[in-house]
Structure 1
Amino acid sequence: MPPPAGLDPWMEGRHFGVVIDAGSSGSRLQIYSWKDPRSISVVKGSELEFTLPKVEKGTHSGEDWVHKVEPGISSFGNNPEGVAKYLQPLLSHARKHIPPSLEKETPLFLLATAGMRLLTPVKQAEVLQQACKFLVLHSTFKIDGPSAVGPCGSSIRIITGEEEGLFGWIAVNYLMDGFTGSGLNRTTYGFLDMGGASTQIAFEPSAVSAQDAKNLIDVRLRLLGGQEIKHKVFVTTWLGYGTNQARERYVGKAISEFEATRKDGQDVVPDPCLPRELELTEKPVHNAPANSYSLKAHKLLGTGSFEGCMQKTAALLNKTAPCPDAPCLMNGIHVPPIDFSVSHFIGVSEYWYSSEHVFGLGGAYDFVQYERAASKFCAREWEGIMEEHELSKKLHRLGGDGEEEVDGQIVAVGKWHPSVERSRLEMQCFKAAWIANVLHEGIGIPRITDPGGNGTTAGDKVVEEAEKKGLGRPAFQSIDTVGDIAISWTLGKMVLEASKEIPPQLTSRPLVDPIEEIPDTPGFHVRPIRPPFWTLDGMEDRITPLLPFSLTRDSLGFSPLIFLLLVSCFFVAILAYPVRRQLRASCLRSIHHVAKRDDEYSLEEGTHRPPGNARVTSRNASFQSPKGLHD
């Protein structure tokens, strides 16, 4: 469809922003839009004065605001020249849906995540260089110029897992009205995100905890009235704590333990984290000694015990790891104290999938219900699960915990989401246990329990149950969308960009990405990713971590790299001065030699000069033949 017409009321005063989420499996372009904050009449003292710009989809209707290509951009690590062709359909889609008159003022970002982080720094730089070159040459979108960050500044770069967490934190609190309210009633939501490889947490410690908390990052936004709000947020990532890598660690540990106590005739590893009678062959990649039988693939047979799976996976949290900077949660990583009477958390991605797609329990979280649904699913026979899976696909029926009740009686089973794949059903028991352990044993979110038993509570009543217990809103909820907007870190980035357009009420420093607010503190746990582009700033970013703090720019007050280059030039000049005459003579001889060699050839005819003193000039050679040539 063509870009929205200028006479369209929806288009009046509308601004756009484009962000490409360059992930490990594909790149997703998303177009967002918002009304120009300067065109909005804000009455002093009104509710509007204390709100953020309303960020919406970038198209008036339909799903054209999103466009995806595969594979991930990191697949071009060995072929950076292919990036241009790869990005072409994404750029064309953006230009097709944004009016040409607005293109120059529309910011475009390509922010790469997990896949690009795995490339070598040199390959990272080559891929980003090609992406920058293509997007700048083939569009007029607003893209940063060269800086220490890269050839396209902050517009095209690799973001850390912590940055994803910070942008996700902004998105959650924007959608859940966490930034509204005042005084003691205003509390922001914490943000939890889990993928296949890692899990992130981002939250604002309570005022008491924040006084002593370390490693907090300023997140600044501007409300429509021009006031700036600032939140000090803690964010960290646990690598290897995503569901896929946690499963790999679990398999390695289970096989090692099996081999250590193996008896004759035993060749199958019992696995409580698989539904009953499901048999899988898996090869360990963790915890197996080199050159041992433990490195070989083993058959794992499901015994279907959610309680047993919870016990087995709890050890993977590594709660006993040394904690050099207390307090710590999992794997010895420092996290400030969390006051769960104040901090309430929203979980996205795997927190949502594991709760909703099979159990139908997404949303407000009740551990009793969750545990009951997981226990029943794990204990089911695999053959029966697959029969119901095929039936569900045929009937296209939606969510549930595998059971449908009428007047307290089970009348049907297999009501899970039709998009659920076999792989999800195979790993659902493990993922459900891992999620529960991370939430409760890892992060410490309290279980909502009822001494009298609350097995009759429903998911949509969990808020009411929590309030009865004096807990206020639930300590944890899993969410995928709010309204028709998906919770995504890309939304958080666009909320920040829209906020930057609001004129400040008072003179203040410009709003920037949270990563640029990181304090200049040695050993700060979050560091931006800076591939080695061939600039002085880029080179300095690469060598700074290798230097003692006393020799860094922050300590010296000037660039040690530039100083070293100047000193090197000075010494080269001193060494060259005594032999300047010899160097001059050598240069003149080289020039004379080259001139003499070129003089022996006719540049226009390409023929060798005749022997002796006979000279063939290039001009005459074009019209005269040497004597005797036609004789």
Structure 2
Amino acid sequence: MAPPTANDPWLAGRHFGIVIDAGSSGSRLQIYSWRDPKSVRLSKENSLLHTLPKVEKGTKDGEGWVSKVEPGLSTLAGDPTAVGAYLKPLVAHAIDEIPPSLHSSTPIFVLATAGMRLLAPEDQAVVLSHTCHFLRSQTNFKLDPPSEELGPCGSSVRIITGEEEGLFGWIAVNYLMDGFTGKARSSGKGKGKEKAVEGDVGYPRTTYGFLDMGGASTQIAFEPSLKHEKDVKGKGLVDVRLRLLGGEEIRHKVFVTTWLGYGTNQARERYVGQAIQEFEETRMADSSAQDADVVLDPCLPRGLELTETPVHITTATGTHVDSHAGKAHALVGTGSFEQCMRKTGPLLNKDKPCPDSPCLMNGIHVPPIDFSVSNFIGVSEYWYSSEHIFGLGGAYDFVQYERAAAEFCGRDWEGILKQHEESRGKHQLGGDGEVVKDGKLVELGVWGPKVETPRLQMQCFKAAWIVNVLHEGLGMPRIVDPGGNATTAGDQVVEQAKKKGLDKPPTFQSMDTVGDIAISWTLGKMVLEASKEIPPLKKGMKPLVDPVDDIEDYDDSPVKPIRPPFFSSSLDAIEDKLVPHLPPSLTRESLGFSPVFLLFWMIVFFVVFLVVYPLRRHFRTGCLRFMRGKRDPYGEYLEEGRATRNGLPSPSSPAASWLRRLFSGSGLTKNGNAHALPHLRPFVPSKAQTGSFSTPVPNGAVPDDATTLVSSTRYGISRVPSPAPGTIIGDGHQLLTSRSRNSSQANLASLVQRPQGPTSRTSNTLIPRK
């Protein structure tokens, strides 16, 4: 669809932003738009002063604001030159949807997630560099300048952590649920509000907590109560700063953390390893046990048989069991939701040591959560596992959810498939559209019989895992007093929930969209970008940045930014390829340094030497001229045998003499008899210098009679007995002398010509013998 024309009212004062979510299974481009905050007419009584910019879909009709390509960007690590062809359809879609006149002011972000995090650092750097080069050369969209830490496109093209996903998701949820319109601490009034409720444990936050679960990890982000915030003394809390349309800055201290390996897919892998391990240990202890590799699995529907190879299998002591346990086993479903919950409970690692109490799962610190006043929203797998099979998306009720899960797990697998076929015929397919092949997600959004099979097979396990994470892991009460959340202090939260169509503010609810806007961390990123455009209320206020860039001490922060080595990745890659071919004595571990880096700098030194060596004489001459300054061939003013020129020290000083000896040599002469430097040229005194006219000895002439050599320096004449005035030299030329204070000039006149042939290092004056 063609972009709107310039005279379209919808386009007036509208800004755009582009985010490419580069995930493990594909990359999704999303276009957002908002009105220019400076063009919004505000008055002191206007309620918009206390709201954030309205970020919405980036197309007028709400269609075409999303485009997607498959597979994930991380799959191009082996062929990074294909990045351009991979991104071209996405970029072309954005070019078509956004007016060309606005391209240069439209920021574009390529933010990679789970798939790119799994790559080696050098592969990350190469893929991101090619991505940046493509965007700079093929588009006019706005990109950050290069940065040594962030890469060639700064923060516009980078890998974000799981914690950053959680923070952006937290912003998106609270933006859509109006969580930022309550008692958020502003930059100017926050202290007063904190004092008013200091010590009030039940003081509710108007912001919602955020839960996200994918295939590999799960995240939590929430704003602790004021008392608990002070208990943790800010450690582990991240500042999230936003700016309202009126210029007022709001600030929230958010706790965020992620549990790697606690997503549904990796949790299933750990579960399979644990089940096979227990099966093998039992068979080894009981000689009468069956020989067939059949494992009874309560987390599969009754009668469903799957052949799976364990990925994670270790004993309690951390050592591997016999090799047979690592082979493929048949898992046969027994369909018991209760047993499945008991079997998956140990995977939470609740007993792991807690270095910084309190901890929840896997020894990771989390501030106390008061579920009587805290409300959480879960997305992704929380929504899929609740809505697509059970139809229970939205407000969560444990009793209802457990009943539906137990009924589904206890059903016969053939009956489930039969119902699935009937639903397919009626066009009532559920599921999230995942296609899994060989344990890997290969397609999304393709509807058909195969799409539902992986979801139906894993639904029992995923339901049990989610219940355990919510209640055993995070500590959410299983049975909540119906009136427990409707306290006087939580009236504002109740009112906000009613506006969103909820009868009461549930402790937890799964959601996918609010209105027609999908809950996505990309929306949170754009809300932050739109907020950055609002002029501050006061000059000199700290500019808004991403939460990760607001962290002053990364050592105490749960967010550890990913920084691929953009400028050393090539050498590291070369070293990785050479190490297997090097003897142990030449490895980095044996030498204490990288042999590749040493070889690299040796090559650089050799190349520089080859370039500089032929030019050494030019450099030497240039240095001498620089040290001596601009020289006038007649500019030596000598007095009493010493000389100074242009304020420089006399060359008779030790330093000057040393430099003169250092740079003297055949390379500074021409034709073997005359120095190329100005101070070594023959000096011809003028009439004005001598006080009378005299014809000097011609160049190259040598007196016919015997001569006496008188030693002189290059810059002054040593004191020697002078011939009588009027002495005739050689062919009748008269030598002038003077008893005046300027007698050195007469001696200087004797420097007419150096004799041919061997001479001493000092210049010589020819004086006739009497």
Tell me if both proteins adopt one fold, taking TM over 0.5 as the criterion.
Answer: yes
> 5 Å matches for 1:447-596?
447-448=478-479, 473-507=505-539, 508-534=541-567, 587-588=613-614
For the structure 1 residues 305 and 397, does the alpha-carbon distance in structure 2 shift closer, same or farther, using more than 3 Å as the test? same
Match of 1:320 among 344, 348, 351: 351
For the structure 1 residues 231 and 278, does the alpha-carbon distance in structure 2 shift closer, same or farther, using more than 3 Å as the test? same
Larger Rg: 2
Structure 2 residue aligned with 1:376 = 407
- Per-residue deviation at 1:519? 2.5
Residue 213 of structure 2 corresponds to residue 188 of structure 1: no
Structure 2 residue aligned with 1:265 = 290
Match of 1:301 among 312, 327, 332: 332
Structure 2 residue aligned with 1:620 = none
- Per-residue deviation at 1:320? 0.1
Structure 2 residue aligned with 1:281 = 307
For the structure 1 residues 129 and 356, does the alpha-carbon distance in structure 2 shift closer, same or farther, using more than 3 Å as the test? same
Structure 1 residue aligned with 2:660 = none
Structure 2 residue aligned with 1:10 = 10
Match of 1:225 among 241, 246, 256: 246
* SS at 2:155 equivalent: coil
Structure 1 residue aligned with 2:667 = none
Match of 1:209 among 223, 228, 250: 228
* SS at 1:421 equivalent: helix
Structure 1 length-normalised TM = 0.78
CA distance in 1 between partners of 2:10 and 2:450 (Å): 34
CA distance in 2 between partners of 1:109 and 1:68 (Å): 15
Match of 1:346 among 377, 381, 387: 377
CA distance in 2 between partners of 1:514 and 1:158 (Å): 15
Note the residue ranges of structure 1 that are not aligned, 5 or more in a row: 401-415, 452-462, 540-571, 577-582, 593-631
Residues 237, 557 of structure 2: 8 Å contact kept: no
CA distance in 2 between partners of 1:4 and 1:17 (Å): 16
CA distance in 1 between partners of 2:4 and 2:384 (Å): 35
CA distance in 1 between partners of 2:448 and 2:366 (Å): 36
Stretch deviating more after TM superposition (212-221 or 5-14): 5-14
Stretch deviating more after TM superposition (305-314 or 280-289): 280-289
> 5 Å matches for 1:91-490?
91-147=91-147, 148-182=149-183, 187-213=206-232, 214-262=235-283, 263-265=288-290, 267=292, 268-288=294-314, 289=320, 291-397=322-428, 421-448=452-479, 473-490=505-522
- Per-residue deviation at 1:473? 1.4
CA distance in 2 between partners of 1:341 and 1:519 (Å): 33
Residues 18, 108 of structure 1: 8 Å contact kept: yes
* SS at 1:532 equivalent: coil
- Per-residue deviation at 1:70? 1.1
Residue 89 of structure 2 corresponds to residue 89 of structure 1: yes
- Per-residue deviation at 1:342? 2.6
Query: Partner letter of residue 94 of structure 1?
Result: A
- Per-residue deviation at 1:212? 2.2
Residues 205, 223 of structure 2: 8 Å contact kept: no
- Per-residue deviation at 1:499? 0.5
Stretch deviating more after TM superposition (1-10 or 120-129): 1-10
Query: Partner letter of residue 508 of structure 2?
Result: F
CA distance in 2 between partners of 1:418 and 1:504 (Å): 55
For the structure 1 residues 226 and 523, does the alpha-carbon distance in structure 2 shift closer, same or farther, using more than 3 Å as the test? closer
Structure 2 residue aligned with 1:66 = 66
Residues 430, 452 of structure 2: 8 Å contact kept: no
Note the residue ranges of structure 2 that are not aligned, 5 or more in a row: 184-192, 194-202, 315-319, 432-446, 483-493, 573-600, 619-770
Greater relative contact order structure (CA < 8 Å, 6+ sep):
1
* SS at 1:533 equivalent: coil
Residues 180, 186 of structure 1: 8 Å contact kept: no
- Per-residue deviation at 1:521? 4.9
Residues 238, 557 of structure 2: 8 Å contact kept: no
TM-superposition CA deviations, 1:132-157 (whole Å, max 9, x none): 11101111111001113111011111
* SS at 1:109 equivalent: strand
Query: Partner letter of residue 161 of structure 1?
Result: G
CA distance in 2 between partners of 1:362 and 1:476 (Å): 11
Query: Partner letter of residue 91 of structure 1?
Result: V
CA distance in 2 between partners of 1:40 and 1:368 (Å): 48
- Per-residue deviation at 1:524? 3.0
Stretch deviating more after TM superposition (308-317 or 287-296): 287-296
For the structure 1 residues 32 and 589, does the alpha-carbon distance in structure 2 shift closer, same or farther, using more than 3 Å as the test? closer
- Per-residue deviation at 1:449? 5.2
- Per-residue deviation at 1:535? 7.9
* SS at 2:479 equivalent: coil
Residues 226, 505 of structure 1: 8 Å contact kept: yes
For the structure 1 residues 417 and 474, does the alpha-carbon distance in structure 2 shift closer, same or farther, using more than 3 Å as the test? farther
Residues 143, 155 of structure 1: 8 Å contact kept: yes
For the structure 1 residues 266 and 363, does the alpha-carbon distance in structure 2 shift closer, same or farther, using more than 3 Å as the test? farther
CA distance in 2 between partners of 1:207 and 1:445 (Å): 20
For the structure 1 residues 272 and 266, does the alpha-carbon distance in structure 2 shift closer, same or farther, using more than 3 Å as the test? farther
Structure 1 residue aligned with 2:317 = none
CA distance in 2 between partners of 1:432 and 1:533 (Å): 42
* SS at 1:261 equivalent: helix
How large is the RMSD of aligned CA atoms in angstroms? 2.8
For the structure 1 residues 39 and 417, does the alpha-carbon distance in structure 2 shift closer, same or farther, using more than 3 Å as the test? farther
Residues 34, 53 of structure 1: 8 Å contact kept: yes
Query: Partner letter of residue 123 of structure 2?
Result: K
Query: Partner letter of residue 171 of structure 2?
Result: I
Query: Partner letter of residue 172 of structure 1?
Result: V
TM-superposition CA deviations, 1:583-619 (whole Å, max 9, x none): 8999349999xxxxxxxxxxxxxxxxxxxxxxxxxxx
* SS at 2:555 equivalent: coil
TM-superposition CA deviations, 1:301-350 (whole Å, max 9, x none): 11111111111111100000010111100000111111112321100000
CA distance in 2 between partners of 1:295 and 1:92 (Å): 47
State, as a whole percentage, how many aligned pairs show the same letter. 69
- Per-residue deviation at 1:61? 1.5
Structure 2 residue aligned with 1:621 = none
CA distance in 2 between partners of 1:590 and 1:354 (Å): 76
Residues 179, 186 of structure 1: 8 Å contact kept: no
Structure 2 residue aligned with 1:629 = none
TM-superposition CA deviations, 1:211-246 (whole Å, max 9, x none): 122210000000111100000011111000000000
Stretch deviating more after TM superposition (257-266 or 326-335): 257-266
Residues 24, 71 of structure 2: 8 Å contact kept: yes
